[in-house]
Amino acid sequence: MAGTKAKETPLDAANLDPDAGTKYDFPRDLVGYGRHPPDAQWPGGAKIAVSFVINYEEGAERNVLNGDPESETALWEQAERPARPGERAINAESDYEYGSRVGIWRMLNLFEAHKIPITAYAVGQALEMNPAVATALKEGGHEIASHAYRWIDYHDMSPELERDYIVRQLEVLKKLTGEYPVGWYYGRLSPRSRGLVHEVYKEMAVPLVWESDSYCDDLPYWADVAAENGDEKPKGMLMVPYTYDNNDLKFHSTTGAFSPQQFFEYLQGAFDTLLAEGQAGQPKMVSSRSLSVGLLRTQSAPLMI
């Protein structure tokens, strides 16, 4: 509108984050390891760790059948993805169902044929709808990590309800697999999610070994946890960075990969770069993944090269 002026931000403006200074506050770190990253000390003196993941979300996406106000619009093959308020989107549902009916079994067969254990980023409700997947992951010797109880956006959820979702996820994975997950990746987290995960694990006396809701490095790193301020022996949180870069999201972008060969070449370029840095004395980790029952990444048994 003519004459409308954008709101200006004054110099040295105050922090407007409502969670600043609370137990949910995770300050930014723009410095990191800098020019001298530490020796990762990978087993056997390896120069690079290559990790593999399968994301399992099918059935837990937004759907009126799950009580959501509209259908899922993310991570399916149609270019135009209109939400369907108050009704089912059959095409989107069917696209997700391919992953649970076909994709997961093709991928497990592939990795197990090569004797490569993976980490499954498992959504609790998705495993409840297809418990045979949980059984196969356990029998195949794979790690089952948490990908939250629902594959939904937690950003505007109240801390109280999000806490309930975290507890439900831990209880469901314990029931289906016999173990609590020691690793966690949300993907669609809220500003409070990392603090809430840490808090719930501590209250339930469950060990949280790593958290992957970070994209800022090529190596794991430790982050301070605001809730531990004042503790004599704060433990912090081990962040194992994820990536949108070496990721099959390229197939969902007009500027991304359009063939398996192109995607392979892209991943190979990332691998070669990080391997070269590792050979130069700075061991790194390459992580990638595939969605719609994803493809590449593991915390439990990465390949060491």
> Rounded distance, CA 305 to CA 298, Å?
15
pLDDT at residue 130 tops 50: yes
Mean pLDDT of 270-277: 87
pLDDT in tens, 79-120: 667 888 999 999 999 999 999 999 999 999 999 999 999 999
> Rounded distance, CA 143 to CA 129, Å?
19
Mean pLDDT of 281-291: 67
In the chain, the domains with their CATH numbers are: 52-304 (3.20.20.370)
> Rounded distance, CA 184 to CA 243, Å?
15
Strands of the sheet with 284-287, listed across from one edge = 284-287, 48-51, 303-304
Residue 186: how many other CB atoms lie within 10 Å: 23
Cβ neighbours for 103, distance < 8 A, ≥ 6 positions apart: 292, 293
Residue 262: how many other CB atoms lie within 10 Å: 13
pLDDT band at 301 (very low <50, low <70, confident <90, very high): very low
- On whether the CB atoms of residues 234 and 224 are closer than 8 A, the answer is yes
* Torsion-angle region of 59 (φ positive above 0: left; ψ -120 to 50: alpha; else: beta): left
Residue 107: how many other CB atoms lie within 10 Å: 21
pLDDT, residue 282, reads 84
Which residue has better confidence, 283 or 130? Answer: 130
pLDDT, residue 114, reads 93
Which residue has better confidence, 257 or 219? Answer: 219
pLDDT in tens, 36-84: 999 999 989 999 888 888 899 999 999 999 999 999 988 877 766 788 8
Q: What is the pTM of this model?
A: 0.88
